[in-house]
Amino acid sequence: MKVPLAEPDLTGREIEYVLECLRSGWISGKGGFVSEFEGEFASYLGIDNAIAVSSGTAALHLAVKALKIGPGDEVILPTFAMIACANAIRYVGAKPVFVDSEASTWNIDPMKIEEKITSRTKAIMVTHTYGHPADMDPIMEIAEDYNLYVIEDASEALGAKYKGRNVGTIGHIACFSLYANKIITTGEGGMVVTENSKLARVIRSLRDQCYDLERRKWLIHNDIGYSYRMTNIQAAIGLAQLERIDDFIKRHRRNARLYNTLLRSLPGITLPNEERGAAHVYWMYTILVDESEFGIDRDTLMLKLEEKDIETRAVFWPIHLQPPYKAEYGHENYPIAENLSRRGINLPSGNTLSERQIYYVVACIKQIYMGDV
C-alpha cells in the first residue's frame, strides 16, 4: 500500500471556482476571488485584515519589512523552525538570534527569550510547530515589557487555538503558508494577517511594487516593493478549501487520536503532546525515536518505511547548523532542538489520509520494531 506524506483534498468546489475564474478572464493577481478569499480568511480568524501573497516565505518577508526591521536590528526566533524564518530576517539585513525549544511542545521556550534580548532587539518571531500553539501569554508579556513586536509564524497551525484564541491573532502580525501540504492550500501561496490597519496598508503596497494607487499614479512607485501577489486562480482554490477547513481539522485530530492509540505502548516512541489550553491541529503527526529502546535510529526507520511505500520526512534541522548559518552560529548549543532534529520523524498526515492507511503505517512500524523485516 502506498501512503504519501501529505496530499491535498481537492474534492470540494475547487474545479467549479477555478473554471469560473478562467471564464472571467481574471487570472492574475487582480480579481474577485482574491478579495473574497482575503475577506473569508479574516472572518474565519476573527481579525480585521488578511493580505494574500505568493508564499509563506513572502508573508514572513513582508511582515518583517512592514515592521521597519533592518540592518543593525535583531529578531529572536527558535532554531527549531523552517529556515525561511531566519532567511526573512536576513532579507532585510537584520540578525537572527536563536533560542532553544521546550521539550514538551517543541516550540520556542519562553523562559529562554529574555536572556537573548539586547538594545538591538526589535521583535520575537514565534513558530507554532507542526500545529501546536506556542505559549503566547508569557511571550506577549516579555514583548510588552521590552516594547517588542511579536510575529507569529502560523504557517503550520491554521485553525489551532491557544486558550480559546485563534493562533495568528495574538501577536502584532502573523504569517500563514498555503503550500500544497498545509491544512488548506492554494498550491503555492501565503497570507499575512494583522489587526493593525496601517500595517495592512503597508503590506498591501509592498506586495505589489509600491504603486502610488491612492493618487492614481499607476507607474509611480512610492518605495522599493515586490511582486508577491497571489493569483486569482490560487485564491479560487483557497476559497473552496477554506469552506471545508473545519472538516480538515477534524480529520487531522481524529487521525492523531488513532495514531496515539495504536503507538502508545510501543517502546522507544515518544508521541506528540497537546498541552492544557492548547488545541493542536496536528498538521504533521510527529514522533520521536529513541534508538536505545526502539532498536534502530530514526533514519533507519525512515528507510525501512520507504521500502514499504510509506513516505515520511525528517523534522527540521536546527537553523544554527544549516550551511548558510553554521559558520556564524555553529558554535552555539541548543540541546533540545538538536535532540529533536536527530530523533523526529513526520508520519503520513495529509487531508486524504485514511484509517486503513494509518493501520498499515503502524503495523509496519511494529513489524520493524519486532525485527520481522
Question: Which amino acids are annotated catalytic?
Answer: 182
Q: Return the C-alpha cell found at 45.
A: 480568524
Burial of 141: CB neighbours in 10 Å, binned 0-12, 13-18, 19+: exposed
CA gap 15, 240 in Å, rounded? 9
Contact at 8 Å (CB) between 149 and 68? Answer: no
The grid cell for 30 is 487582480
H helices of 225-354, where? 232-242, 245-263, 291-294, 298-307, 323-329, 335-343
Indicate the DSSP class of residue 227: B
Q: Give the Cα separation of 91 and 101 in Å (integer).
A: 24
Report CA-CA distances (Å) from 196 to 38, 171, 305: 15, 11, 47
